[in-house]
Structure 1
Amino acid sequence: FSVLACQQTSWLAICVEGGFVEPANPVTTQRSVTETQTRLPCQYQVEGEEKVVQVTWYKELSDGSKDQIITAHFMDGHTEFGRYSGRVRFENSNPIKNSALIILNTEQSDEGSYTCHISTFPSGNFERKIALTVWILPISSLDPVTLVEGQSFRVAATCRAIGHPLPILSWDTDMSGTVQNRTSETGSVSSYFSLHPLRSMNGKKLDCLVWHPGLEEPRRISNRLEVQYPPDATITTSASRWYVGLEKAELVCEGRGHPKPRNFTWTWEGGALPDGVSAVGGKLVFQRPVHLSDRGAYECMVTNSVGRGKTEYMLNIDGKCNKANFAYICIGFNGETVLLPCALLMFLDEIRSFSRQASFRRVNSTSTDFRFQVGIRTVFKPNFRDTHKLSC
């Protein structure tokens, strides 16, 4: 397709060669991507007295005919035709010198065979053909599924993609499962990852990878598996030893489940909590010094949207007083004040426990002999030397 342009002199014929600078081959292939600009190269280099008169781009149709896209004349300027008007332009302001075609916003329908036709004087007509393949970058999505422990084998996530050529889907995960791929008539592909849900899988990676020749590396759709399960309850305490008179004592109930449990229910010996002990969420707070009668089984039940769990804590209380604590007991009896050690608290707790179980006896029993009415008040003091300050 090179040209020899010859000029006759008085004694010698001088010939110079003209031809295409690009594309170098008569037929070439090229790839592009939708929604991007596509450049189709075409540049003819003239030599000597040769001139490019007109440049025309065509697209070959399926029936063998040609669809005229754009043309440029060295005197009349350029013209765009039909559906290509406003969608294409020449790359250079002087298309006679550089005839490359720009498709401004490439569509899937632009795929096909293109011809760059160069008309020269006096050498004639020359062409270059370009077969254009248009790729559609994949549009992809991932649909996660919320699972519950104990369910049967089922789909945990679905990954979908559409593109041209058809994308390939795969999964990146450390979990064992089954993958099933399906292709629809509309040109989309779906991949299903199925497994048997266990609580140990909650939060594990289950990413979908979308592979396509138009992508330099696979597109990753990040995903974490969600497996809901009932809570497990545990009861802990910060006190290493519980003893009579212990202050600011607490039992703490924790529920490990998904979703995180929010409801806590406390019971003592299967019934109501002792007086002066209250539940604040997951904590059981002793709002007064610990009594010997507070011992026994404390149960905490935690609940989430999936189910419930419960645990029991057997509270043992040491009847021995802490060395730093003494109890000053004032007993009003014929005007006398008696100082007793803290061991008496154990006895008082037993009385309190017995009184709670047989309160009707105290309510119904009366005495008219005021000489034997006894009033008791317990005061905690940190130092035995302050006994002189005690009064009833």
Structure 2
Amino acid sequence: MTPLLNRLSGCICVLWSFVAVLQGDFVDLPSEDPIRSLAEVETTLPCLYQPTGVDTVVQVTWYKEKPDATKEQIITAHFTDGQTAFGMWSRHVRFKSTEPTVDSSLVIMSTEVSDEGKYLCRVSTYPSGNFDREMSLIVWTIPISVLDPVILVEGQSFRPAATCRSIAHPPPQLSWDTDLYGLSTNRSSDNGAVSSQFSLHPLRSMNGKKLDCLVWHPTLEGPRRFSNKLVVHFPPHAEVSGYNGDWSVGMENAALRCVSGGNPKPQSFTWTRIGGQLPEGVIPHPNGTLVFGRPLNLLDGGIYQCVAKNDVGQGKAELEINVTECYPVICSLKNWLMIIVGGVAGGLLILMLIVIIAVTCHHKRRNKKLERELTVKKEEISTLTRQASFRRMNSVSTDARGATEENIPLRVEGTTRTSMSSLGRLTAVTAGLLSQVDREEG
């Protein structure tokens, strides 16, 4: 009995191998599993069975797996009876080919998030039977996002400055790109909606700073940026300009300007003069300028006050105006005379300094020259004195041997007189040089 069973098992294996060789297979496999698609576009689920041998495809049926693991029939096609779509699927799906038994790929015409799930393509052949192919579909939606900024006011407590919202499948991720110091809070819901709120303590220095929202999602190549600049309102800070302390009687086109910051810009400006009304002929303009529409007079002096207002608050600035009696033409002449006198005085001073320096340098050079000449003369006197002494001594010693007693005194006396004459002349020259040096130094 056992040998017979072994022979039967061997025959069955051979027969099964022969059938496997004869039956076909699925081709045109998807490049990815699960298949990913976007909402509101056509999605193709491939199913291409290629029979071999004697098999013939007689029917193709598509199913979708329900959450309870049961299968919902979508569409079927028979090689003689045609095709049929079931229920709501009849307006939602179709076969890709006009010959579904040849190419059984399914087309979802406008894909929805609810189409996500597992699908089964069943190919019925004769005589081999049914062959199934399963696949999964993931449906993504492009994020729908919005940024809601908030206008803040300086001095308010810690509060939201902007809220970023987005919805998609799968749920997107949100982040903030900013240098502001604050705190972000993220929330999400089951339908794929997420939100992020950025909160801070508002200061006027934050006005106009970047506060961008970034949306991250697999359907996007990079983050989608929603640009935003923080808006912080604060009261004006007024300043008065246009007066430099040089206003005088008769001056024309005089004007004061109220320069003010603040956010938003001030909508109104009010000019007053402390202790009285504005002088006649002085006109305030809506842009904050106070124009004196006539030549100035002494009564235009006083303390002027500007008040700038916006929706948040107001700012004040005061300036005291003094009007002098100097008429413009006279003041101008005086200014020119002062400039000319000052220029002449400065020129003379510079000239005197140059002359003093030149004279001093000249005297120094003369004194040095005279000192050098005096030194030379002194050396000459010393040299002549030594030479005279040597000649006198030589003359006495030489002439004493061959001269008579009467001639010796005469030669000595002549030599002495010559030396004294030369010494006198040198002394006179030296005295002259010394007296000249004394005069130069004096």
- Judge same fold: TM > 0.5, yes or no: yes
- Give the count of matched residue pairs: 315
Q: 1:302 aligns with which of 304, 308, 313?
A: 308
Q: Is the 8 A contact 2:48 2:105 kept in 1?
A: yes
* Separation in 2, partners of 1:147, 1:221: 19
What residue number does 2:270 align with?
265
Q: TM-score, normalised by structure 1?
A: 0.73
- Which of the pair is proportionally richer in helix? 2
Query: How far did 1:250 drift?
Result: 1.5
Output the CA distance in 2 between the equivalents of 1:138 and 1:102: 24
- Does the CA contact (< 8 Å) of 1:5 and 1:18 recur in 2? no
Deviation at 1:299, TM superposition (A): 1.0
Whether contact under 8 Å (1:237, 1:252) holds in the other structure is yes
Question: 2:195 aligns to what SS in structure 1?
Answer: strand
Structure exhibiting the larger radius of gyration computed from Cα positions? 2
SS at match of 2:84: strand
Cα displacement string for residues 270-292 of structure 1 (whole angstroms, at most 9, x for unaligned residues): 43111110111111111111113
CA contact (8 A) 1:245 1:290 kept: yes
Shift of 1:115: 0.6
Q: Deviations over 1:291-346 (max 9, x none)?
A: 132122211100011000011122233432223999xxxxxxxxxxxxxxxxxxxx
Equivalent position amino acid for 1:308 in 2: Q
Q: Which residue, 29, 32, 55 being the options, matches 2:34? A: 29
| Structure 1 contact 5–123 (Cα < 8 Å) conserved | no
Give the deviation of 1:175 after TM superposition.
0.8
Change in Cα spacing, 1:276 to 1:91, as seen in structure 2 (3 Å) is same
Would the aligned equivalents of 1:16 and 1:48 in 2 still touch at CA under 8 Å?
yes
Instruction: Give structure 1 regions of 4+ aligned residues with deviation exceeding 6 angstroms.
Output: 4-7
TM-score by length of 2: 0.65
**More deviation, 239-248/116-125:** 239-248
Q: Which residue of 1 aligns with 2:298?
A: 292
Alpha-carbon shift at residue 114 of structure 1 (Å):
0.1
Choose the corresponding residue for 1:74, options 60, 74, 79: 79
Higher RCO (CA-CA < 8 Å; seq separation 6+): 1
Q: Which runs of 5+ in 2 are unaligned?
A: 1-15, 333-442
Alignment-derived partner of residue 404 in structure 2: none
Cα distance 1:69–1:320, how it changes in 2: closer, same or farther (>3 A)?
same
| 1:90 equivalenced with 2:95 (yes/no) | yes
State whether residues 263 and 303 of structure 1, in contact with CA within 8 Å, keep that contact through their aligned partners in structure 2.
yes
Once the 2 structures are TM-superposed, how far is the Cα of residue 50 of structure 1 from its aligned partner?
4.1
Larger deviation: 77-86 or 317-326? 317-326
Distance 1:5 1:162 in 2: 54
Native 8 Å contact 2:65 2:119 kept in 1 = yes
The 5-angstrom pairing of residues 199-348 of structure 1 reads 199-237=204-242, 241-281=246-286, 282-323=288-329
Return closer, same or farther for 1:171/1:270 CA change in 2, 3 Å cut-off. farther
Structure 1 range deviating more: 39-48 or 102-111: 39-48
RMSD: 2.8
Contact 2:245 2:321 in 1 (8 A): no
| 2:25 corresponds to | 19
- What's the offset of the Cα at 1:49? 5.1
Deviation at 1:17, TM superposition (A): 7.1
C-alpha displacement of 1:62: 2.1
Range 139-148 or range 236-245, more displaced: 236-245
The sequence identity of aligned pairs, in percent, is 55
The 2-side partners of 1:65 and 1:262 are apart by 71
Residue of structure 2 in register with 1:340 after alignment: none
Q: Does 1:167 align with 2:202?
A: no
- Matched letter for residue 250 of structure 2: G
- Tell me, yes or no, if structure 1 residue 63 matches structure 2 residue 80: no
Deviates more, 1:171-180 or 1:202-211: 202-211
Structure 1 letter corresponding to 2:279: P
CA contact (8 A) 2:95 2:107 kept: yes
* Partner residue, 2:200: 195
Q: Which residue of 2 aligns with 1:38?
A: 43
Alpha-carbon shift at residue 153 of structure 1 (Å)? 1.5
- 1:22 to 1:244, Cα distance in 2 relative to 1, 3 A: same
More strand by share: 1
Task: Report the AA paired with residue 125 of structure 1.
Answer: N
The answer to whether the Cα contact below 8 Å between 1:18 and 1:46 also exists between their aligned partners in 2 is: yes
How far apart, in 2, do the equivalents of 1:5 and 1:236 lie?
A: 104
**Aligned 8 A contact 2:166 2:195 in 1:** yes
CA distance in 2, matches of 1:304, 1:42: 70
Q: Conserved in 2, the CA contact under 8 Å of 1:5 and 1:48?
A: no
**CA shift at 1:185, angstroms?**
5.5
Q: Matched residue of 2:168: which SS?
A: strand
Q: Residues 69 and 270 of structure 1: is their aligned pair in 2 closer, same or farther, counting only changes over 3 Å?
A: farther
